[in-house]
Amino acid sequence: PTLRIQGFVVYKGFLNRTLQEEIVEDLRGVAKAAPFIQPVTPSGKKMSVKMTAAGQFGWITDAQGYRYAPRHPNGHAWPEIPTQIAKIWTDVVGVTRQPECCLINYYAEAAKMGLHQDKDEADFDMPVVSVSLGDEALFRMGGPLRSDPTQSIWLASGDVVVMGSQSRRAFHGVDRIKFGTSDLLPKGGRINLTMRVVT
């Protein structure tokens, strides 16, 4: 079942439970090599979301600013994007370019992400693919202007969203998660993966 909302393509229930569990296991391996960090924005605010990444680049933010970086702040290269995760990209966008970054966001009970645009990538013709795991999240989607009207939808574990064409430049954010709505993650909360072409 595919939903199209303002250029966002939403695949509800794209990943079955077994695959979700295998991906969580893959992510444990990633987080061992590249531990989650709580990023600090250039203005000095701690983000409520914890982040890490896999692939040639990870997205980081600190006093220096926002950017894609070839290394975790610990100095090591990011681990490779696990095969089963990269396959989701191929399944939904086809075999154009492969993702160079899989950003991994962890939302504990009170975490959220303010309305923003993703514009640190070089080529906005390449889509972004999002994978939701764990607790449900209220995802807000707008348009290319901050002032554009927004629509919200609940994303559940196993849902995949493709942001291409017009929606690629859209403002978006996560208002809140509904803690305790999934038993996928042992401590609860939500993981969102976003695969991106960076260069």
Among ligand MD3, Fe ion, none, what does residue 88 contact (CB within 5–8 Å per kind)?
A: none
Q: Show the tokens assigned to 7.
A: 């250029």
Question: What is the nearest approach in angstroms of ligand MD3 to the Cβ of residue 11?
Answer: 13
User: Is residue 118 at the binding interface for ligand MD3, with CB under 6 A as the rule?
Assistant: yes
Look at the chain and count its residues.
199
From residue 170, give the alpha-carbon distance in Å to each of 48, 149, 188, 198: 22, 11, 29, 17
**Amino acid at the residue 135:** D
Residues of this chain, 88-117, that bind ligand MD3 according to CB under 6 A: 103, 105, 113
From residue 187, give the alpha-carbon distance in Å to each of 62, 138, 139, 151, 198: 27, 19, 21, 29, 31
- Phi, psi angle pair for 59, to nearest 5°: -95, 125
Reference 195, options 121, 113, 111; nearest CA is: 121
Site map (CB under 5 A) of Fe ion, residues 70-99, x = contact: ------------------------------
User: Is residue 172 at the binding interface for ligand MD3, with CB under 6 A as the rule?
Assistant: yes
Q: Which stretch binds ligand MD3 (CB under 6 A): 11-19, 26-34, 93-101, 170-178?
A: 170-178
Residues of this chain, 16-55, that bind ligand MD3 according to CB under 6 A: none
**For the chain, what is the radius of gyration of the CA atoms?**
15
Give Cα 169 distance to the centre of its chain.
15
Residues of this chain, 95-134, that bind Fe ion according to CB under 5 A: 118
Residues of this chain, 130-169, that bind ligand MD3 according to CB under 6 A: 130, 137, 161, 163, 167-168
- Positions in the binding site for ligand MD3 (CB under 6 A): 103, 105, 113, 118, 128, 130, 137, 161, 163, 167-168, 170, 172, 174, 192, 194
